[in-house]
């Protein structure tokens, strides 16, 4: 089987090319084609000689990610099903800002980091699938490239933001996720600012500390959804081994090392975590580390019985936190009609 060329570093490729009697600087050209120009065949690398292209073709392949299906929501959201080289499917979403939206011309890509997920969050469709494998850095990068192309073709604007909030737990695919961020932010890749990237975790304390040690520059979001262990255990079993106290410590450590404010994602489930007592607990938890809160609208899934809270309860909940001086954004869900909203990605058609 041929080797995946995007798993070689420029230094490794340079060594290999030199051993084959080629000039070493060709490695830089090849990498530029692979990442910056997203070439998907050696034939496209027109500044290489034909024999060099043939040589590369004989030893390496470029594993493509292709768009298997695109679905468009009434609100402009586009959900894509991406086919990986081994036939597995993952999903990614383009979320354009609504006209008159507070975020103006924001174009956000939501990308997947794993095929399926090993965590079993009860409100999430992906949580009812098995985790098949991690995505490699190129597979994550390719989703961004494909969604960026959709943004330009459909809205005449490039991506402005990327969230790792699709299928999978990014911090359980740590190395590849960080490598994909490096590629996206590198001037040899897409050259995006890390401040435009948010990695969202269900809460893996050890890896949150590792992000601090690695002094990452991107944003971190915690899918919190309950600020009391007994409730959080019920909806997110990962909480049993990564309790709120342990997570709070890890987030404090991350903040100390990076100076980056945390985002807490909080879905208000009807009659579960939407009382003023819950808001009080959430407020207490946010005092542990500088943070803002995104309250997210819930999108019911067939596998579970949760319901979205009502607008009056939401207003009271958000108002309580705002009165305490907490920054709160209420996020309306997008792409619900095509199962592209948060927690709904599960390869459904």
* Interacting residue ranges for ligand SF4, rule: CB under 6 A: 117, 119, 121, 124, 126-127, 167-169, 202, 223
Give the 3-state secondary structure of residue 328: strand
Nearer to ligand SF4 (CB atom), residue 56 or residue 90: 90
Q: Go through 15-53 and write b for each residue having 16 or more CB atoms within 10 A of its CB, e for each that does not.
A: ebbeeeebeeebbeebbbbbbeebbeebeebeebeeebb
Count of C-beta atoms within a 10 Å radius of residue 323? 10
Nearer to ligand SF4 (CB atom), residue 17 or residue 247: 247
Of the candidates 306, 244, 318, 302, the one whose C-alpha atom is nearest the C-alpha of residue 272 is: 306
Round to whole Å and give the CA distance between 124 and 112: 14
Round to whole Å and give the CA distance between 275 and 268: 9
Of the candidates 346, 342, 236, the one whose C-alpha atom is nearest the C-alpha of residue 298 is: 342
**Which is the catalytic residue, given 91, 139, 169, 265?**
91
Question: Where does 156-201 have alpha helices with state H?
Answer: 174-185
Q: Is 99 left (phi over 0), alpha (psi -120 to 50) or beta?
A: beta
- The distance of closest approach from Cβ of residue 121 to ligand SF4 in the complex, given in angstroms and rounded to an integer, is 3
- The distance of closest approach from Cβ of residue 169 to ligand SF4 in the complex, given in angstroms and rounded to an integer, is 4
Asked about 322 being catalytic, the answer comes back as no
- The distance of closest approach from Cβ of residue 168 to ligand SF4 in the complex, given in angstroms and rounded to an integer, is 6
Give the 3-state secondary structure of residue 265: strand
- The distance of closest approach from Cβ of residue 127 to ligand SF4 in the complex, given in angstroms and rounded to an integer, is 3
Asked if residue 224 lies in contact with residue 264, where contact means CB atoms within 8 angstroms, the answer is yes
Asked about 121 being catalytic, the answer comes back as no
Nearer to ligand SF4 (CB atom), residue 96 or residue 168: 168
- The distance of closest approach from Cβ of residue 201 to ligand SF4 in the complex, given in angstroms and rounded to an integer, is 8
Residue positions annotated with a catalytic role: 91, 342
């Amino acid at each position: 089987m041929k080797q995946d060329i995007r798993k070689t570093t420029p230094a490794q490729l340079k060594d290999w090319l030199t051993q084959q009697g080629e000039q070493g600087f060709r490695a830089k050209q090849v990498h530029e084609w692979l990442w910056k120009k997203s070439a998907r065949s050696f034939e496209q690398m027109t500044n290489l000689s034909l024999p060099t292209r043939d040589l590369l073709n004989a030893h390496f392949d470029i594993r493509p990610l292709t768009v298997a299906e695109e679905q468009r929501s009434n609100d402009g959201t586009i959900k894509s099903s991406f086919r990986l080289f081994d036939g597995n499917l993952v999903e990614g979403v383009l979320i354009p800002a609504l006209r008159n939206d507070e975020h103006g011309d924001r174009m956000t890509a939501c990308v997947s980091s794993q095929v399926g997920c090993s965590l079993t969050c009860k409100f999430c469709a992906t949580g009812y699938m098995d985790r098949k494998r991690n995505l490699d850095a190129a597979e994550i990068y390719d989703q961004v490239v494909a969604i960026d192309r959709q943004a330009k073709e459909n809205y005449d604007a490039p991506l402005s933001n990327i969230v790792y909030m699709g299928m999978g737990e990014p911090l359980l695919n740590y190395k590849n996720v960080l490598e994909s961020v490096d590629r996206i932010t590198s001037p040899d890749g897409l050259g995006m600012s890390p401040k435009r990237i948010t990695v969202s975790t269900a809460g893996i304390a050890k890896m949150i500390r590792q992000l601090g040690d690695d002094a990452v520059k991107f944003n971190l979001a915690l899918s919190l959804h309950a600020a009391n262990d007994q409730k959080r255990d019920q909806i997110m079993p990962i909480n049993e081994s990564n309790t709120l106290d342990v997570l709070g410590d890890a987030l404090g450590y991350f903040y100390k090392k990076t100076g980056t404010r945390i985002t807490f994602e909080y879905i208000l489930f009807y009659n579960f975590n939407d009382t003023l007592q819950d808001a009080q607990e959430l407020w207490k938890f946010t005092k542990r580390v500088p943070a803002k809160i995104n309250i997210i609208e819930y999108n019911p899934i067939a596998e579970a019985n949760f319901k979205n809270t009502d607008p009056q309860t939401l207003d009271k909940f958000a108002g309580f936190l705002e009165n305490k001086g907490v920054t709160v954004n209420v996020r309306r869900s997008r792409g619900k009609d095509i199962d592209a909203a948060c927690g709904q990605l599960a390869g459904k058609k």
